[in-house]
Structure formats: structure tokens, C-alpha cells
Chain A
């Protein structure tokens, strides 16, 4: 219910200069949300992500209460049936329950590793980017050294010499050799924003470095690293599966898709369902996160229009 005069006032300022039309100039996040709301990639990706996270947190719910360790050897390798949706595995355990429970380890590792990478990346990257100087140079050299060791190879060595191979150690291995990209992304965002006038304005007003970093720089700098982080969940889940498949990641009796695939590979001719289901779940999970990240990147890309 607005007065026409008021509306006219809103469109013109004191000297009658017209307001910049909103077409093509909307705010980054607002417009992004509008784009994402109806974007099929985003919706698919989020749906997958939500389902998988729920599956990881409440596996019993999805598995309809079937116990993955309730096994009967005589039923070994049975193909899928109405009673056992995914059939039975080598030990005669319900495969559906096992695959569902596998979500927990994979998703946890993916999320844990990405959280670790984000924390280190944001902390180190913003300090290096904002303060510059010798600390930045030292950090740059250290980053270069870590970049010299590819993620998979580094995690391989670290896990080779670890005594235990739990969800935590695998995540740690991925974080130790995977933090660098996030750090570089944050650092370059911070460096480019640091030069912008509104940061200089805040400095000129006498705001402290902490206040500037937290209230001005970071909220505007995080978009690229968040996109990377979303996709990285998928990448890390895939990496963990590969490590576990090789035998250097999680070990039995942990339930992991990588382990299931490892067992299934030699049986591909006789019992393809053993390979199919965990591979499907693994691929779909990774796919979901990648779609999500892609949709986010498109939404936040100013040049998209």
C-alpha cells in the first residue's frame, strides 16, 4: 500500500537523478539465491546431499532396522530379491544395510576433511593475505613445498606409517595434504579485497585489523573457497574410497564403500550386484556434491550474465 508520490520519490533522488535500475545490477548473493532456487542442478545436488547426510547420521532409519552384521554364510552372494533389496554379500550379510551404513564413514570423512581444510585455509590464508610481509613469504614457501606432494601420494605415505586407520586418521591425512588450495583461494580473495576502497575507508576510520578482517573482508572473500569446499567434499570422499580400496585407508570391520568394492572386484563376473551398489552410491554421492558446487559457482559468477 504505497503512496504514488512516495514511489516516485524512491526512484529519484534529490536532484531528480534516476536510481540505477535493478536490472543487471542486483546484489551477488540475492541474485544467486534467485537463480539457485529454480536451478535443476542445484536442486538435484542439494537433494542428494541432504539424503546422504541423513543416511550418514541415521543409517538405521534408512536400513529399515536391518543389522548389517547379522550374517548367515549359507546365504552368501545371493542376488537382489524382494526380501533383500541389494542381495547378500560374501559373508551372507544384508547388502542393502551394509551399503547404507557405508554412507556414514564416507560422508563423515568427506565433511571432516573439508572442515579441517576450511579452518586452516581461512585462518592461514586470511592472515597471510591481510598482513603480507615476511610471514606471507614464509607461508608461500611452505605452501609450495606441500604443493609438491600430490594429495593421494602424501596421504598414502602418512597412512602407511600410521598405526591406526580410523575415520580420524584418514581425514587428517587428507587435510595435511589438501589444505593448500583452500589457503591460496582465501589468500588471493583477501589480497584483492584488501585493496578495495571500503577496506581503506574502514582503516582510515580507525577500525582495528580484527574488525576489518571479520566484518569487512571475510564476508566478501569467502565465496570462491566455499564453492571449492563443496566440490572438495566429493573429491575427498572419492579419495578415501580409493585409499580404502587400495588397502591403506579404513580396514575391516569398518563398513566402507571402498572396502566393499575391493571385495567385489574379483567377483564381478559372478555377482555383479556386489560391485554395482556401493559403486552407485559412491558415484551418486560424489556427483551430488559436485553438482552443488557447480551450481553455486554459476550462481555467484558475475560474468554469467
Chain B
């Protein structure tokens, strides 16, 4: 290829762990033309980040690289330090995933951008500072002349990521590597940053190597896509082709597992001939004028939840949706008494738990199960998982040890885990398995209400799909009411009968899932729906145009 900017041949990367070599990338070939956008897509452990970081030589010390990486003709693999130092920042700019930790907290963002500039350009400090402000304008940072003097912790997540992009573009690099640039951001902010990146393509000359696990992010942005699994490329095709006609079974499975908003896949249009479930006499969960305030300093309070009315009826699944800071998690915790209401009331199956003491809460808590988000911290690391599942039984039932063991076996069967895993410790299980254990613990007492707080957000896409399926099956079988909290509308769509949307502590819209998703009444809801990335390029493009037309820019 005559104008191939980046040529990678037979690249292999191994990591030395405990005296053996673990392969991360196995003999990969890659070509990237000038101005092209190539997406590397894969789940965790696929080697996509390793591959990208090998280009500027930013791997850890225990990495061993073999093969060839040619950038504009120059060989980068195992090149010497002076070569790599001049390439980094000069010809290759990198945008990292977590802007909060990727910036040095003790210097202003302006200082750090200036540093990037002066590493490769001979400019005075004043000239470099002016250029830094220009760069911040380029990335649509509000009030750039002011923000250039801000420390990283003073900016919002989206603004930090803009600053990071500005820093990466400081010296007009030929190649921009973006490693999961929007994963740590809220959905609407993510949409803005993706729009920015797309927009920059026209204004800036760089080729982009985009790494992500999210097919929706890729749909509107990439020209070509390479799907990776276990260090090898499983499929490589132009974007349009990949989505419409995936060849490899893994690609197909991956696309199928991605929750696709509006695809009308499942429960929303399925089954129920009756549009609304008959309201049971007493809702499983009922919140009235719920307000929760926290002290955020000596004199000020922060209102996390503001006057929310919400009901979850027996047997129905309510999806509670919102971005970070919306108060949805706080509300979920209040439903089970983990957080006290400042005012208003909470009822579980008719019992008012608003001002019950810890002891008084024991009774009602018997009927509520909670599933948490992070499989890494939802289980006590020093307890075998069987003991974790048995804890609710030990607390609330009079079962003997043998009785509890039998019930634990039953529960393990229900969540489709092998019974022998009962004696394993959490660190010996995968994320998906730990999450199943968490679910088993939550349904141990056959609760009337299940609260699931972002149960799949920390899981890989394919694992997420199976866990969601499990939840649906359990709910269908046991008929418990479920409050499903998530920031991901596409995930919620798969499960929920009704959807409630929260913004800044307020419940701004609620109704049957189908109605809320297709005919939202509130502008924020519409924006939220419009911002969700959809793994279908033409549709994603159309949605982007709608977003821009409605003027949702900062």
C-alpha cells in the first residue's frame, strides 16, 4: 500500500509473569492509511490495548516484542530510546481512558499541554501557552483561556478528556491512538466526545487508531474494524460490511450480545397482551417525595435525590436510568435502608421503613435482595462463595448447617454454576461467575423485591448478555419485582416493563418502556436516547445528524 502510514507485520508481544511468558498478541498484521480511522474491537484480554501501546513503545518493562512496526517508513519495534522519545508526542499522540489519573494532579492542564508542545517544538513559553489555548479551542473546551490554568481535579470528566485530546494533538501527530477514550464517561458526554473526534477528522490530518470494546462507539466513527480475540485478529473488514455481514462466528456472537437500543429485541414487545400489569393491591416498593441530602462541607448540603415518587409493583421490572450523579444508585440504596431519607417515605410491601432502626429493618430486609455492580468487591474475599450465599440463610432462617448447604446447592443450580464451586474463593472465579454468586445470594430467601444496581456494567459484553438472560429467567420463574438500575438504556430495554429516568436527583419521566423509549416527553430523555451508541452504522449516522441538528453541543 503506497500511502500506508502504519505497517505492522507479524507482531508478537509476550509478558513475563512469574517466570513464564504469557502471549498477549500473536503474530498480527495491520495496515493503516493516512487519515483513516481503524477500530480495534475486542473484550478484555483480547490484546487490543497491548497492540496499540506497542506502537509508541509504551508497554510495561516485562514485555517482549518481536516483529515489525513501521511508522512512515521508520522501524519502531525495539527501537532505541531517543528514536521512540521523538516519535512519542511528535508523530504519535495518545489519548488514554481515565483522564483523571492520566493527568498529573499537581500541574495545571495548561502546563502539561505546554510541556507536550515544547518537547517537540522550539517555542518560547509564551508562544507555547498561546498555542495551548488554541488547542483547547480546537477541542471545544468552554472558556479555554480560563480553563488552561485549571488543575485536572477542577475540570469535569468530559472537559478533562477534551484537554487530553488537545494534549495528544499538540504537535500535529500523524497518528492518534485513542485507548477506550469514552469508556469512563457518561453517555451524553460520550456522545459529545465521539462527535468531537469525528469532527476533528475533517480539521486535523491524523489517522486514528481507536481501541474499544463498544460496538456502538465504533459504528459511526470507524472506516475499518478489526475484531480481536485472545491476541489474534478474528475478522477485519470495512465498517459497513462488518455490521451487515459478519463472517466469523465470534464477530456474530459479539454483535448479537451487544444490547441494541430500539431493535425491539425482546421483552418490550414480547408476551404481555395486556399493556400494563394489573396493579397489585400493595406495590413491592413505594417511594413518596423521597429526598436525600448529604453534607458536602461545613455549611453546604448536597441534594442527591429530590422529591422522587416511584412505585415498583409486584412482578414488574422497573428500569431506573440516569447518568452519574443522577442519584439512581442512592435511591436504590435508600430502598433497602442503606441510606436514610432526609424527608419523604419508603414502603416495602406496605411496611413503612423510613424511620426504622437497624433492628427494625431486619424484618423487611428479609424480603429484599440486592445485586451489586462490582463483582470484585461484592463478595468478602476471605469467605468461600458458598458461605457468602448462605449468609442470608444464616441470618434469617433457622436452618441447620446441613439445611443451609442443601439450599446453597439449589441456588447454585438456579444460577447455573457448578455445585463444587461452593468452596472456591472469589478470586478463583471469573467476573461473570462472581456476579452469578451475587445473584444467588440475593435470591436466597425468595425475596419479593430485587434491587439490581448496575449488575452488568463491569462485565464484558458477552458475559453481560448471559447474566442478563439469567436475571430475566429468574424473574420470570419467581415473579419478584425488580428495580433495575443502570446507565445503559440499551441494557434496560431488554428487561424492563417500565422505565423511570432520573436527572440530577429528580425523576423526570416514567412510563411503560416502549412509550418512554419511542415517544419520550422530556428533552433530557430524548437526548439520553439519542446519545446511546448503536451498533449499526447507518442508524448511528442518522442519530448523530439528529443530535447535531437539535444543537446538543456544550
Q: Do chains A and B touch in the complex (CB under 8 A)?
A: yes
Which A residues form the contact surface with B (CB < 8 A)?
Answer: 9-10, 13-15, 17-20, 22-29, 196-198, 200-209, 216, 219-220
Question: Is B506 located at the chain interface by the 8 A CB criterion?
Answer: no
Question: Is B518 located at the chain interface by the 8 A CB criterion?
Answer: no
CB distance from A46 to the nearest CB of B (A): 23
Complex CA distance for A210 and B338, rounded to whole angstroms: 16
Number of interface residues of B (CB under 8 A): 46
CB distance from B439 to the nearest CB of A (A): 12
Nearest to B365 among chain A residues (CB) is A206
Neighbouring A residues of B425 by C-beta, 8 Å: 27
Complex CA distance for A204 and B365, rounded to whole angstroms: 7
Neighbouring A residues of B372 by C-beta, 8 Å: 197, 200-201
Complex CA distance for A274 and B395, rounded to whole angstroms: 64
Complex CA distance for A205 and B367, rounded to whole angstroms: 9
Give the contacting residue for B377; candidates A18, A22, A198; CB below 8 A. A198
CB distance from B364 to the nearest CB of A (A): 9
Question: Contacts A206-B362, A208-B358, A209-B358 given: A20-B430 contact, CB under 8 Å?
Answer: yes
Q: Tell me the B378-432 residues at the A interface (CB within 8 Å).
A: 378-382, 388, 391-392, 395-396, 416-418, 420-421, 425, 427-432
Neighbouring A residues of B382 by C-beta, 8 Å: 27, 29, 219-220
Give the contacting residue for B396; candidates A19, A206, A209; CB below 8 A. A206
Nearest to A29 among chain B residues (CB) is B382
The reply to whether A197 and B373 contact each other, CB–CB distance below 8 Å, is: yes
Question: Contacts A17-B463, A200-B338 given: A205-B377 contact, CB under 8 Å?
Answer: no
The reply to whether B417 and A14 contact each other, CB–CB distance below 8 Å, is: yes
The reply to whether B392 and A205 contact each other, CB–CB distance below 8 Å, is: yes
The reply to whether B381 and A220 contact each other, CB–CB distance below 8 Å, is: yes
Nearest to B366 among chain A residues (CB) is A206
Nearest to A26 among chain B residues (CB) is B427
Complex CA distance for A280 and B359, rounded to whole angstroms: 58
Give the contacting residue for B379; candidates A14, A23, A198; CB below 8 A. A198
The reply to whether B430 and A201 contact each other, CB–CB distance below 8 Å, is: no
The reply to whether A17 and B22 contact each other, CB–CB distance below 8 Å, is: no
Question: Is B521 located at the chain interface by the 8 A CB criterion?
Answer: no
CB distance from B228 to the nearest CB of A (A): 17
The reply to whether B361 and A206 contact each other, CB–CB distance below 8 Å, is: yes
Neighbouring B residues of A17 by C-beta, 8 Å: 430, 432-433, 463
Neighbouring B residues of A201 by C-beta, 8 Å: 370, 372, 378, 438, 441
A selection of 28 A-B contacts at a CB cut-off of 8 Å is A9-B420, A10-B420, A13-B418, A14-B416, A14-B417, A17-B432, A17-B433, A19-B430, A19-B433, A20-B427, A24-B18, A25-B428, A26-B427, A28-B381, A196-B377, A197-B372, A197-B378, A200-B338, A201-B441, A202-B391, A204-B336, A204-B337, A206-B362, A207-B391, A208-B359, A216-B380, A220-B381, A220-B382
Complex CA distance for A204 and B338, rounded to whole angstroms: 7
Nearest to B362 among chain A residues (CB) is A206
The reply to whether A25 and B418 contact each other, CB–CB distance below 8 Å, is: no
CB distance from B387 to the nearest CB of A (A): 10
Complex CA distance for A197 and B18, rounded to whole angstroms: 31
Q: Other than the known A14-B418, A202-B391, A205-B365, what 19 A-B pairs have Cβ atoms closer than 8 Å? A: A9-B420, A14-B416, A18-B430, A19-B433, A22-B428, A23-B18, A24-B17, A27-B427, A29-B382, A203-B338, A204-B336, A204-B337, A204-B370, A206-B362, A206-B365, A206-B395, A207-B391, A216-B380, A220-B380
Neighbouring A residues of B441 by C-beta, 8 Å: 201
Neighbouring A residues of B362 by C-beta, 8 Å: 206
The reply to whether A200 and B395 contact each other, CB–CB distance below 8 Å, is: no
CB distance from B276 to the nearest CB of A (A): 29
CB distance from A285 to the nearest CB of B (A): 33
CB distance from A21 to the nearest CB of B (A): 9
Neighbouring B residues of A216 by C-beta, 8 Å: 380
Neighbouring A residues of B373 by C-beta, 8 Å: 197
Neighbouring B residues of A27 by C-beta, 8 Å: 381-382, 425, 427
CB distance from A220 to the nearest CB of B (A): 6
A-B pairs, 4 with minimum CB distance:
A197-B378, A206-B365, A197-B372, A14-B416
Complex CA distance for A252 and B214, rounded to whole angstroms: 76
Question: Is B466 located at the chain interface by the 8 A CB criterion?
Answer: yes
Neighbouring A residues of B427 by C-beta, 8 Å: 20, 25-27
Nearest to B370 among chain A residues (CB) is A204
Question: Is B333 located at the chain interface by the 8 A CB criterion?
Answer: yes
Neighbouring B residues of A13 by C-beta, 8 Å: 416-418, 421, 430, 432-433
Complex CA distance for A14 and B470, rounded to whole angstroms: 12
Complex CA distance for A77 and B289, rounded to whole angstroms: 87
Question: Contacts A10-B420, A24-B17, A206-B395 given: A198-B428 contact, CB under 8 Å?
Answer: no
Neighbouring B residues of A22 by C-beta, 8 Å: 428
Neighbouring B residues of A203 by C-beta, 8 Å: 338
CB distance from A39 to the nearest CB of B (A): 16
Complex CA distance for A18 and B44, rounded to whole angstroms: 13
Complex CA distance for A14 and B413, rounded to whole angstroms: 10
CB distance from A226 to the nearest CB of B (A): 15
CB distance from B511 to the nearest CB of A (A): 28
Complex CA distance for A294 and B122, rounded to whole angstroms: 48
CB distance from B10 to the nearest CB of A (A): 26
CB distance from A211 to the nearest CB of B (A): 8
Question: Is B374 located at the chain interface by the 8 A CB criterion?
Answer: yes
Complex CA distance for A236 and B413, rounded to whole angstroms: 55
Neighbouring B residues of A26 by C-beta, 8 Å: 427
Give the contacting residue for B374; candidates A14, A18, A197, A219; CB below 8 A. A197
The reply to whether B432 and A204 contact each other, CB–CB distance below 8 Å, is: no
Complex CA distance for A216 and B394, rounded to whole angstroms: 15
Give the contacting residue for B378; candidates A198, A205, A206; CB below 8 A. A198
Complex CA distance for A13 and B431, rounded to whole angstroms: 12
CB distance from A172 to the nearest CB of B (A): 34
Complex CA distance for A75 and B292, rounded to whole angstroms: 82
Question: Is B368 located at the chain interface by the 8 A CB criterion?
Answer: yes
CB distance from A71 to the nearest CB of B (A): 55
Neighbouring B residues of A14 by C-beta, 8 Å: 416-418
Complex CA distance for A112 and B431, rounded to whole angstroms: 45
Complex CA distance for A197 and B338, rounded to whole angstroms: 11
The reply to whether B392 and A9 contact each other, CB–CB distance below 8 Å, is: no
Nearest to A19 among chain B residues (CB) is B430
Complex CA distance for A9 and B22, rounded to whole angstroms: 23
Complex CA distance for A200 and B366, rounded to whole angstroms: 15
CB distance from A141 to the nearest CB of B (A): 15
CB distance from B144 to the nearest CB of A (A): 36
Nearest to B361 among chain A residues (CB) is A206
CB distance from A189 to the nearest CB of B (A): 14
Nearest to B463 among chain A residues (CB) is A17
The reply to whether B365 and A19 contact each other, CB–CB distance below 8 Å, is: no
The reply to whether B368 and A204 contact each other, CB–CB distance below 8 Å, is: yes
CB distance from B526 to the nearest CB of A (A): 33
Neighbouring B residues of A10 by C-beta, 8 Å: 418, 420
One digit per residue, 1 when the CB lies within 8 angstroms of any chain A CB and 0 when it does not, for chain B 350-368 equals 0000000011011001101
